[in-house]
Structure formats: C-alpha cells, structure tokens
C-alpha cells in the first residue's frame, strides 16, 4: 500500500474535473486527477454533436473538440487513468484508491469531487412486462454507435425527451434506423427546444407529449411496447393504449448525480441531489469542493466547466493554507424554484447563481426576498437552466429567499 | 406572412416571430445570430451536420466529424449518404479536413477528434 | 455406470456434486445456456427455518435437514450464506394463535430455537417494522444466500471432480428398453444411460412423459419482486414474513447478501403453457409494494433498482415428488417448489445415499481423490484491501475496475469467462457486475468488449442471456 501526498486531488476526469485540473495547476500546487475510465473526457467522448463551448471558447464545438481543447489547456500531466476511489476518509483527509499498481492512499490538502451523473435505468421505473434485450439508456446507445461502431437495432422508440434522448433520435435516424417517435410523460419536452427543432422536427420524428410506456413485450429480445396517454397525475388513461412494434427502446428518463463517496458525511441538498455548496464550490466540509453534474444536473457543459474552474482554483488556495471567507449566508427556495446553486454564500464578491423554475412561465420575474432581480420577457422552463451573476447583497439579511413569479 | 420559430443558434433557444413582407423583420431574438438564423430559415434553412467517418488502422473504428459551415437542410440526406461511403486512414487530427467543399456546398467536412494509428 | 441429470438448477446441481463423490460417470444436461437460469435464478433466496411445512410432508422432512447442511456446504463451496434469522409477524390477536401453532409445528419438524418475541424486544431487533406489529415468531436459523451461486458452485465442484456439463442442450426423448432407461436423446446427440435424474424444474412433467411415468403435472406459479438499492442496507436485518395465507408465505421483506432489500413475491397461478412467462404486471408490482410497505412502512419505492418475476414449479399435491418410478433408472426430483432451495442439499443426499443403494440397488464406490472445495471468484469487498493488493500485484487486471456500482474488476470478469460465462448475464450472475444501481449503464459495453476479446468472437455476437437476446445489430460503418 503506497501513500502519496498531494495538494489538490480531483476525483473524475469529465469536463468539471478537467477544468478543475486546469485552474489548480495554474496555481502551482501539486495536483492529481483520478479518472476511473481509461481516458478522460467523460461523456464528451461520445457526444459527437455540436452545441458545446459557446460560453467558454466562444465557438460552437462538438463534445470531442471541447474535450481536446481542455486537454490542450491542461499543461501538466496530472491525469491518472484507471484509478477507482474506494473510500474517502474525512477525518484523516485520506482517499483510498485502487488501480493496476495496487492500493494508493492519497493524503490530500484539498479535494475536488467531479464525479458527474449516471443515467437512470428504465428498470428502476417499474414498467411491467418482459425483461428482454434491446432496452438501452440513451448514453449506452450513444456509446455503442459513436465509439463502438455498432447499431443497437433496427426499429426504435425513444422514451423520455431529455437532451440525450433527442440527440439519439436524430443520430439513430441518420444511421438508418427506423425511429418511430419519442414519448414524454410530461406535457413539455424534457430537453432544450433547440434539440426538439433540429433533432425531431428536421428529421420528421414525432414527439408524443403526456405519453408513457406501460408495458414491454418480447421473448428474449424486445418486439413491441405499449404506450398510453397519461392524465395530469401522470397516470395512464385506460383506453388510450397503443402497441408499437419496435426491437429497440432507448431511454432518456433522467440523470442522477453520483455522490456515493461523500453523501455519508457531506451536507446534501435533497432537491439538487448533490452537496450543498457555496460560491467557491465548497461543500459543508471546508477542504472538499464539488463541481459539475454531481452538484446538480446542468444543461450546458460550459456551466460545468466554469464550476470546475472555480472549484480547482479555490481548492488550490485552500491547499496553500489561504483562508476563504465563511459562507454564513444562505439562499432559501421560495415559490417555483427547483434546482438552485449555490445554496450558501459569503457576499464578499460577485458570483453566478443557477436555478431552474419548477414550472414553465411565459413572462416572469425573479425575486430575492421582495426585490426584483431579473425580468424574463421570454419563456422560462424547468428544462432550461437560468444563470445569472449576482453582485450586490448589501441590502439583504443572512437568509435570502429566491422566488420566481409569473407576470402578465 | 408571420412565422413563429425557435432559434437554434445556441442552447438558449429564443422564441422568434418573423415578419416576411419583402423585407424580413425579426422579434424575440436576444442576439444578432437570431436575425441571421430567421432569415436563413425562411429562405434556405441550413444546419451543421455532425456525423462519424470510418477510420482504418486507428485506435478507434470511427472518427467524429462536422461540416465547418451550415449546409442546406434539403441536402442533408444526400450529404449523409455520401459520408457513409467514406473511409480514411489513421492518424487523423482534430481539425483535419476530410472532404473539401462537400458536394459543392462550400462547407468542408472536418474531423472533430484525434484518432491515433493503432500500433 | 452412467448417470444423466436433467436440469442444472439448484436440485440437479447439488445432486451432480453429491454424485461426483463416487466412481461413476455423471452428466448434467441443461437446455438453458447457463447454470441456474430457471426457477433457481428468481426466488426469494431464503434458506428457511423449516417450521412452516406441514409435519409429515416430504417438504418438512427435507427442509429442516437441508437448512442444517448449509453451514458446511457454504464453507466447502464458498458461496455467500448468512444466518440472519426470520420473523413471522403478527398484527392481530388472532395471528398470535397462528404463531403459537407455527412454533408447535416447528418442534414437530425438529426446528428448535423458535421463540415468540414481544413488541419491545422485536423493535430492538427490527426498529423499522410497522408499529402495528404486536409480536413475531423468531427463527434464528433461517438464512439468506444467492441460489444461482449455490448451483454454479456445485456444478463447478462437480466438474472439477469429473462430472460433465452439457449446456444449451435440450432433452428430446428417452428410450426405455426392457423396463429400464437405455438412451437419452438430445437436440445434439444420443447417449447410452443407466440412470436418469429428472430435475427439470418447470419441465419435469414433460421429461417424465417421455418415459410414460408422468402421474403429475407442473403448474407455473409466478412471483414478482422489487429489488431496492443497497443504500437501504439495514432497513431490515432479518427476513420478515407476514402471517402466511393458505396459498403462500405471503410477501416478504428480505435483506440480500450484498446489502440490498428484496420485496416479494406475490403468487399468481398461470396456465400450464406459460412456463416461459417472466413478465411483471402492474397489479403484481403494486401488490408487492403495498403489502411490503405494511410490514416496513419506511420502504421507499424510489430506491428501486429493478423488478423481475420468477416461476415456481407447483403441483396439485403441493409437495415434492422425489423417488424412483416404475421405469427402472428413472428417478424424479420434481415439484421442487418452496422451500426447494432450503431442501436441495438434503434432497441431493437422499437421492445419492438412499435411492441409489436402496431403490436402485446400486452400490456406489467413493472416489479416492474427491476434492470437496471450490473457491469463489474473489471480490474486493469480501477479500479485504490487503489481500486484494496481493492479487493485483500478481495480476494487474484485478486493479482495473469495470463495474463501479459493485466494484468488480476486469480480473473477476476474465475469471468468470474462464468458468463458463458466455453472456452478459453469465458474467453478471458470477461477479455481480451490472447488478447494481446503474444496471450496466457504465459497464455492459466494457464487459462485452472483454468477452469478445477473451473468447475471440465479434462483439455483436454476444447475447444478454438466451440465444435470441441479441444486443447489437451489426456495424454503423463497415
């Protein structure tokens, strides 16, 4: 068992982790990034579509391009691929890892968690029917097609209109599969409207809103699914069932932040399903930072990258024994606010906050306590994360209620 | 004529109202790209195409690629079928031009990742 | 002397292992592509105390003894087995009578140590039980295991001791000559045979028909289950039963050996022809959820990892059918419904130590060099960090994690393939890779890559489990 001392240890080599490594190394501290896969980049490897990088690189890039840009930015070789973290010991600041060299225990001054999210598997939704081959999460289907050069089947229904679901509808259609449609249980698409337009409308793929899969059919391999319309409570309406012959089901029914390594000792936010953080991306434990989709599910890799940069920078400062101000102020969720971060802040400098409304509003205002901070003259939706920079907090108390209200 | 559409130039997705009366006027856009998008959309809609190209002797079987400019939407099918027949040899570098001026669209097909040669 | 065992489920596998202690030729024929994929794969995974089978039934005779055999068996075959104990809980005063009855019955079945616990004591043991529970029958000897692993371990050990396994081979006919079994005909070959053990689970009646001794019929009884995440570890520590009904033991809440929580099963009788119907139903899953929540109100369905169904081989007699038939050499081990997993080690001993010498008058000779031990595929959680590091130093593939939810390394997957895994499920049931909360989202393609490399077959030919369960459909770009 080997021991190694590092200043900043980053767990996860997706966009957040790589960005954290870029900023931490710039501060001249000893940084190590652990990646459990054989190379870094995470999901960017397989996201060959464009739409990345408009904020960060001021260019519209594909996933692999964004990933390679980050590799170019990272000047030092700090990446350790094929390293799995087995345990984090908060008392001793030790991180126990397994790799081909055996067990390595890292003694760290600061830690950045950038462990991302995993896809919710369809099996967790309790849809009755056969358990057959031919049911894939959108991410698995994407990896199969774009990395493994293999098609998942011939005729496919997409379940869930999250962004990867929409992207995969188009991708599979381009590669010659018969894409019969996309079903979405909610009355609105789960992904960005831009993806509804360019992935579905452009390729004449139908989108069935307020619909869900109620049964899976097949003997060994999928051969059909039954879909049905749902009522306001998302319950299938009897009599609306329709059986559709498909050999493949691709599911995009949600992402789950992965926090298994820290949730036992770090304060968690039940709505974001990630650690509670402040504007420095610091968790409730002063030397543990977190960034990216493990904090909350983001829409844009650009946001994830920016958070990673912040986390890496402040983790480096902490590792140099610099003090950060206490984050003794908090944001409280008021009306219509779902995902919200950071949840704590120190009011010492301006920072960005992200939030999702719980409902879709044509015109609305965002308020801090009773003060209007931003007016939205355009439609805002739960599927589209709102980002705004906050500057002045002088007139607020230690608890600021964040609220979205509809206006005429 | 009045047309409603969602701008897809960036992930924000502005809801545009386009007035076509000889001159094209646009409302709802939050940046100049929205105006350009709307103009194209009513005259000759264009899209960036992202796709994979077969690589021989590479550490991966495919290299991801994109058109470096939007190409006419109505030509997408033809371009896709053309790309499916392509084969290139590793190594490929990000930014390498795989096809110059693909099907005379004025756009190049460029590699979007690096695929090293298999040893 | 040539013995063919039809069926590599829990009964057939343990009989094969028991027979492999003797100097005879043992074959196991299994129509599925892997071991333990029938009834064995999908049940509650409980080694019952043995108190609730009617005294005097064949079931009662085998269950209590089978339970006792599990300690030694699990040591020799190195499978997971934990005596976590079981509770039958009472909600009403009239249930108390039932508990007392059960306790008495247990004594008749020679199950000792049964105890009725009052509420306060019970709450200490299981704090998450419903407040409405007034008492429970505590059986400390009940245990949990992984039935498919018991079957695989037994077969591995039997094969190590000379038995021959024929997977993916289906018995089509049996030739009887002069009142004795003479030939077994499969879809692949014909074999001369002296003794046939019919351990074909749901299909035992069809095998018995081939020698015209089918005086029983097997009906599939479906049980649906919900598996919850390991994050709920400790929700219950022992197996929790409601007061049973006439038809079944009811819907239980069971801790699994790797820390998950299993809910189920319901009991739905299917028509005879539905022996392949493993589909779940809305009503069934709802029933499982509602009834298990009555026992343990804290059950949170949002922790569901997956749902599945299993079929149990039920007969009109509701009892095991074990013994010789009027065709010499044809032995039934049929109708092994609950508590079949518990009884199986005792059944295996009975077949080999009683039926062979007493009914068939065959004198079996012990092998000189029988090796009773099988080692399981090592896993980091069970082996511990220091031992694991030694393994990695010998073979770095044990340091390369493939399944992150359950910490399964490439080394384990390669070993599973060496032991016969050919499919994703073959790897999953041997290593627990892709058994966890992401259900293979991160590792299934990597596992396929490893199978493809190790067996030198194209990746698109790898199946999920059965022959027609294809996963990939050719190349995107040729």
The pLDDT tens digits for B47-85 are: 999 999 999 999 999 999 999 999 999 999 999 999 999
Percent of chain C with pLDDT over 90: 96
- Given a cut of 70, whether residue C247 has pLDDT beyond it is no
DSSP C474: S
R_g of chain A computed on alpha carbons: 22
Within 8 A of C478 by CB-CB distance, chain B residues are 54
At B9, is the pLDDT very low, low, confident or very high (cuts 50, 70, 90)?
A: confident
Tens of pLDDT, residues C75-111: 999 999 999 999 999 999 989 999 999 999 999 999 9
CB within 8 Å: B62 and C478: no
* Stretch C305-318: mean pLDDT: 94
CB within 8 Å: B7 and A194: yes
Within 8 A of B28 by CB-CB distance, chain A residues are 378
Three-state SS sequence of chain A? CEEEEEEEEEECCCHHHHHHHHHHHHCCCCEEEECCCCCCCHHHHCCCCEEECCCCCCCCEEHHHHHHHHHHHCCCCCEECCCEEEEEECCCCEEEEEECCEEEEEEEEEEEECCCEEECCHHHHCCCECCCECEEEHHHHHHHHHCCCECCCCEEEEECCCHHHHHHHHHHHHCCCEEEEEEECCCCCCCCHHHHHHHHHCCCCCEEECEEEEEEEEECEEEEEEEEEECCCCCECCCCCEEECCCEEEECCCEEECCCCCCCCCCEECCCCEECCCCCCECCCCCEEECCCCCCCCCCHHHHHHHHHHHHHHHHHHHCCCCCCCCCEEEEECCCEEEEECCEECCCCCEEEEEEECCCECCEEEEECCEEEEEECCCECCCCCEEEEECCCCCCCCEEEEEEEECC
> What local confidence, expressed as pLDDT, does residue A397 receive?
87
In a mutational test of the C interface, the residue from A42, A48, A98, A103 whose CB has the highest number of chain C CBs within 10 Å is: A98
Within 8 A of A152 by CB-CB distance, chain C residues are 471-473
Mind telling me how many Å the CA of A67 is from chain B's nearest CA? 9
Neighbours of C362 (CB within 10 A): 17
Subunits next to A (3 or more Cβ pairs <8 Å) are: B, C
CB within 8 Å: C441 and A137: yes
Within 8 A of B48 by CB-CB distance, chain A residues are 50, 60
* Stretch C9-38: mean pLDDT: 98
Q: Which residue of chain A has the CA closest to C401? A: A84
Spatial contact of C98 and C81, defined as CB atoms under 8 Å apart: no
| CA C228/CA A394 separation, integer angstroms | 48
CB within 8 Å: A192 and B14: no
| CA C11/CA C199 separation, integer angstroms | 6
Within 8 A of C475 by CB-CB distance, chain B residues are 61
Within 8 A of A65 by CB-CB distance, chain B residues are 94, 112-113
- Give the range among A185-189, B111-115, C9-13, C152-156 with minimum mean pLDDT: A185-189
Q: CA-CA distances (angstroms) from residue A233 to A210, A315, C76?
A: 10, 44, 54
Identify the CA nearest to A315 among candidates A348, A336, A343, A285.
Answer: A285
> What local confidence, expressed as pLDDT, does residue A311 receive?
98
Q: Catalogue the active-site residues of C.
A: 48
Tens of pLDDT, residues C458-469: 999 999 999 999
Q: Which stretches within A112-214 are classed as H helix?
A: 138-146, 163-174, 193-195
- Give the range among B8-22, C98-112, C294-308, C338-352 with minimum mean pLDDT: B8-22
- Cross-strand partners of A399: A330
At A119, is the pLDDT very low, low, confident or very high (cuts 50, 70, 90)?
A: very high
* Stretch A183-210: mean pLDDT: 94
- B56 and chain C: CB distance < 8 Å anywhere? no
At A304, is the pLDDT very low, low, confident or very high (cuts 50, 70, 90)?
A: very high
Sole residue written with tokens 């994109």 = B66
Sole residue written with tokens 């949990």 = C144
Buried b (16+ CB within 10 A) or exposed e, C236-256: bebbbbbbeeeebbbbbbbbb
Q: CA-CA distances (angstroms) from residue C52 to C59, C219, C337?
A: 10, 22, 14
- C278 and chain A: CB distance < 8 Å anywhere? yes
CB within 8 Å: B62 and C477: yes
Tens of pLDDT, residues C407-422: 999 999 999 999 999 9
In a mutational test of the A interface, the residue from C266, C438, C474 whose CB has the highest number of chain A CBs within 10 Å is: C438
Spatial contact of C174 and C183, defined as CB atoms under 8 Å apart: yes
In a mutational test of the B interface, the residue from A194, A298, A380 whose CB has the highest number of chain B CBs within 10 Å is: A194
Spatial contact of B49 and B76, defined as CB atoms under 8 Å apart: yes
CB within 8 Å: B53 and C477: yes
| Structural domains in chain C, sorted by start | 86-140+219-314 (3.30.9.10), 385-461 (1.10.10.1100)
> What local confidence, expressed as pLDDT, does residue C405 receive?
94
| CA B94/CA B63 separation, integer angstroms | 9
DSSP three-state, residue B40: helix
> What local confidence, expressed as pLDDT, does residue B59 receive?
96
Tens of pLDDT, residues C381-401: 999 999 999 999 999 999 999
Tell which B residues from 67 to 106 touch A, by Cβ distance under 8 Å: 73, 76, 80, 94
Q: Which residue of chain C has the CA closest to B62? A: C477
The pTM assigned to this predicted structure is 0.95
Using CB atoms, pick whichever of C392, C393, C469 lies closest to residue A133: C469
- Given a cut of 80, whether residue A394 has pLDDT beyond it is no
Sole residue written with tokens 């994360």 = A385
Q: Which residue of chain B has the CA closest to C475? A: B61
Q: Which residue of chain C has the CA closest to A82? A: C400
Mind telling me how many Å the CA of B98 is from chain A's nearest CA? 15
> What local confidence, expressed as pLDDT, does residue A276 receive?
98
DSSP three-state, residue C391: helix
| CA C434/CA C440 separation, integer angstroms | 4
Tens of pLDDT, residues C192-246: 999 999 999 999 999 999 999 988 999 999 999 999 999 999 999 999 999 877 6
Neighbours of B25 (CB within 10 A): 13
């Amino acid at each position: 068992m080997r021991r190694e001392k590092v200043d900043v240890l980053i767990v996860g080599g997706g966009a957040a982790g790589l960005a954290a490594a870029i900023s931490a190394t710039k501060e001249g501290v000893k940084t190590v990034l652990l990646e459990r896969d054989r190379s870094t980049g995470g999901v960017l490897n397989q996201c060959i579509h464009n739409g990345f990088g408009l904020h960060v690189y001021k260019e519209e890039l594909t996933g692999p391009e964004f990933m390679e840009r980050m590799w170019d930015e990272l000047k030092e070789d700090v990446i350790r691929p094929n390293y799995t973290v087995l345990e984090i010991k908060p008392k001793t600041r030790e991180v126990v890892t397994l790799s081909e060299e055996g067990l390595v225990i890292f003694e760290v001054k600061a830690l950045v968690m950038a462990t991302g999210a995993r896809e919710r598997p369809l099996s967790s939704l309790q849809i009755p029917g056969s358990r057959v081959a031919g049911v894939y999460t959108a991410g698995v289907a994407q990896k199969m097609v774009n990395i493994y050069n293999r098609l998942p089947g011939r005729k496919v229904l997409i379940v869930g209109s999250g962004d990867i679901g929409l992207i995969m509808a188009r991708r599979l259609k381009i590669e010659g599969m018969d894409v019969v449609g996309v079903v979405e249980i909610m009355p609105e698409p789960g992904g960005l409207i831009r993806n509804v337009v360019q992935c579905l409308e452009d390729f004449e793929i139908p989108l069935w809103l307020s619909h869900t899969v109620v049964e899976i059919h097949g003997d060994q391999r999928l051969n059909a699914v039954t879909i049905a319309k749902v009522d306001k409570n998302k319950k299938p309406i009897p009599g609306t069932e329709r059986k559709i012959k498909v050999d493949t089901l691709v599911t995009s029914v949600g992402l789950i932040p992965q926090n298994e390594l820290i949730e036992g000792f770090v304060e968690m936010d039940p709505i974001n399903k990630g650690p509670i953080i402040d504007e420095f991306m610091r968790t409730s434990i002063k030397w543990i930072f977190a960034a990216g989709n493990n904090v909350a599910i983001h829409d844009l890799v650009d946001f994830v990258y920016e958070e990673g940069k912040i986390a890496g920078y402040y983790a480096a400062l902490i590792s140099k024994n610099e003090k950060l101000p206490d984050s003794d102020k908090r944001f409280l969720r008021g009306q219509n606010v779902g995902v919200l971060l950071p949840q704590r802040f120190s009011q010492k400098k301006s920072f960005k906050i992200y939030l999702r409304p719980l409902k879709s509003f044509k015109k609305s205002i965002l308020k801090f306590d009773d003060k209007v901070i931003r007016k939205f003259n355009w439609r805002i939706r739960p599927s589209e994360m709102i980002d705004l920079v906050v500057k002045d907090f002088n007139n607020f108390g230690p608890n600021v209620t964040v609220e979205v209200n509809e206006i005429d | 004529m009045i047309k409603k559409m969602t701008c897809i130039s960036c992930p924000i997705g502005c809801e545009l109202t386009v007035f076509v009366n000889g001159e094209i006027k646009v409302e709802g856009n939050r940046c100049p790209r929205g105006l350009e998008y709307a103009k194209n959309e009513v005259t000759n809609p264009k899209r960036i195409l992202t796709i994979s190209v077969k690589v021989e002797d590479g550490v991966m079987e495919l290299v991801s690629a994109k058109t470096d400019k939007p190409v006419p939407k109505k030509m997408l099918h033809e371009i896709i079928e053309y790309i499916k027949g392509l084969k290139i040899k590793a190594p490929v570098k990000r930014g390498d031009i795989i096809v110059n001026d693909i099907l005379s669209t004025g756009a190049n097909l460029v590699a979007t990742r690096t695929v090293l040669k298999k040893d | 002397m040539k013995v063919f065992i039809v069926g590599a489920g829990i009964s057939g596998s343990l009989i094969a292992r028991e027979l492999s202690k003797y100097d005879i030729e043992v074959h196991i024929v299994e129509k599925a592509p892997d071991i333990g994929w029938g009834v064995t794969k999908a049940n509650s995974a409980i080694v019952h105390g043995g108190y609730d089978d009617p005294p005097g039934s064949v079931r009662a005779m085998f269950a209590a003894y089978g339970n006792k055999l599990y300690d030694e068996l699990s040591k020799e075959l190195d499978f997971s087995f934990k005596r976590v104990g079981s509770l039958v809980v009472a909600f009403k005063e009239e249930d108390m009578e039932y508990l007392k009855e059960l306790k008495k019955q247990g004594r008749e079945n020679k199950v000792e140590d049964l105890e009725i616990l009052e509420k306060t004591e019970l709450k200490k043991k299981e704090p998450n039980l419903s407040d409405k529970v007034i008492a429970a029958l505590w059986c400390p000897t009940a245990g949990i295991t992984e039935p498919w692993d018991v079957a695989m371990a037994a077969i591995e050990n039997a094969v190590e001791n000379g038995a021959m396994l024929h997977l993916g081979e289906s018995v089509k006919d049996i030739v009887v000559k002069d009142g004795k079994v003479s030939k077994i005909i499969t879809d692949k070959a014909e074999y001369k045979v002296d003794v046939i053990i019919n351990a074909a689970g749901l299909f035992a009646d069809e095998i018995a028909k081939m020698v015209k001794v089918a005086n029983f019929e097997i009906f599939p009884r479906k049980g649906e289950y919900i598996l919850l995440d390991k994050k709920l570890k400790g929700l219950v520590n022992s197996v929790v039963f409601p007061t049973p009904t006439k038809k079944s033991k009811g819907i239980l809440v069971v801790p699994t050996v790797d820390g998950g929580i299993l809910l189920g099963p319901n009991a739905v009788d299917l028509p005879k022809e539905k022996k392949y119907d493993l589909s779940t139903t809305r009503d069934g899953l709802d029933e499982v959820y509602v009834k298990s929540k009555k026992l343990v109100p804290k059950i949170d369905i949002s922790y569901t990892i997956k749902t599945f169904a299993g079929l149990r081989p039920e007969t009109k007699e509701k009892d095991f059918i074990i013994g010789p038939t009027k065709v010499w050499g044809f032995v039934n081990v049929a109708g092994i419904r609950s508590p079949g997993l518990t009884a199986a080690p005792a059944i295996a001993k009975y077949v080999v130590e009683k039926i062979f010498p007493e009914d068939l008058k065959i004198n079996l000779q012990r092998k000189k060099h029988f090796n009773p031990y099988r080692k399981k595929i090592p896993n980091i959680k069970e082996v511990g960090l220091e031992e694991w590091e030694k393994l990695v130093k010998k073979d770095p593939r044990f340091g390369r994690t493939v399944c992150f939810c359950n910490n399964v390394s490439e080394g384990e997957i390669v070993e599973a393939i060496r032991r016969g895994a050919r499919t994703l499920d073959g790897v999953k049931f041997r290593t627990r890779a892709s058994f966890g909360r992401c259900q293979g989202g991160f590792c299934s393609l990597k596992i396929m890559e490893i199978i493809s490399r190790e067996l030198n077959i194209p990746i698109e030919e790898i199946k999920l489990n059965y022959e027609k369960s294809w996963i990939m459909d050719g190349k995107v770009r040729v």
